[in-house]
Amino acid sequence: MYPLERSYGQEAFYAWDENKPPDLSDKQTSPDYANAHTWSVSSFQQLVEAVAFLGSMNKRLALFYRGQSRDVAPLPALFRNSWCAFDTDKHFEINSTICKKYWDALFDIGRRVFEICNEPQLGLPRWRGLKGIREVQWAVVQHYGIWPTPLLDLTSNLRVAASFAMSFASATRSNPKTGYLYVSGMPYSTGSISYDIDQQVVLARLQSACPPIAKRPHYQDGFLVGRFPLYEPDHEAAQNSSLIRRLVAKFQLHDSGEFWNVDFPPISLAALLPSQDPLRERLLDEFGATGSYSVYRLAQSFCDADAG
């Protein structure tokens, strides 16, 4: 992804909140500045007010959100040090050799995902995008955690991101919680999947890729973002896939029992990750630990070959 040069973030907000200057152009900051200067809020209402300012000022950017319980680099799974195999608690290491094997296997897994989504019992009314566009297939693969991909989960829903950031757990004054929410600026989407060559960004709207019967993507307002084009998963590709390159602001959410209220309640884990999801159940049959194409066994074979 091509990095943002400058955007209106925390510094511009504080300048406006204090003096209401007629021109804030000298208060624009870089993604590195946004990453280094965490913006603290103690209620969802404060978060909404801050993001409303960001949306008003950054008119040429579409804002997307990612919630994390820890402040770790928001990298796609393919470029992390390890990943947790689908339907297991087993973590597998990812090094440069294994990363290439994951990459090569991703194309076949993506094809299988299309075939599953297109089965009659699931039903995919418009199937051509998922059949012919690899990034659309990878969007489904990544969102359901089937296999490491070069795409990263985002949402257009601020409340969804904040709920993920706070780990869906209640907090009290004696047992406070913190979470992190990343606000990224992307080119405006022009369809179910958008490619911006100048900004080197691909942005996929998950709702348009999955069958209507799939619940998770629709409940989460999910999007997937990545670097485009991507030919090989090398070190340069990993660096260029970090969400920090598009960062407008990074929030630290503090909850001492008052972050959420009656007007702004959290979204439950059961609502965002429903257990009765027909697509996930079918994907488990195929790719789960005991499935016909177990990604656990495939990843284990990569590790065994690398160790040997």
Instruction: Note down pLDDT in tens along the chain; length 308 residues.
Output: 999 999 999 999 999 999 899 999 999 999 999 999 999 999 999 999 999 999 999 999 999 999 999 999 999 999 999 999 999 999 999 998 899 999 999 999 999 998 988 888 877 666 666 788 899 899 899 999 999 999 999 999 999 999 999 988 778 888 899 999 999 999 998 878 899 999 999 999 888 777 777 778 888 889 999 999 998 898 899 999 999 999 999 999 999 999 999 999 999 988 888 888 888 999 999 999 999 999 999 999 999 888 76
Residue 196 falls within a domain, yes or no? yes
Question: Is 97 inside a domain boundary?
Answer: yes
**Structure token pair of residue 231:** 């030919």
Residue 115 CA to chain centroid, in angstroms?
24
Q: How far apart are CA 154 and CA 199, in angstroms?
A: 17
Domain range for 57 is 10-307
Within a domain: 77: yes
Residue 80 lies in a domain: yes
| 278 lies in some domain | yes
CA distances from 227 to 85, 136, 205, 263 (A): 23, 14, 15, 38
Q: Is residue 3 part of a domain?
A: no
Question: Which among 100, 9, 98, 109 has a CA at the least distance from the CA of 53?
Answer: 9
Quick one: pLDDT at residue 174? 84
| Rg of the chain on CA atoms, in Å | 20
Peptide bond into 229 cis (omega under 30): yes
226 domain residue, yes or no: yes
Number of domains in the chain: 1
Structure tokens, 143: 């969102």
CA distances in angstroms from 63 to 83, 98, 186, 187, 261, listed in the order given: 27, 34, 6, 9, 24
Residue closest to 264 by CA, chosen among 23, 43, 70: 43
203 within domain boundaries: yes
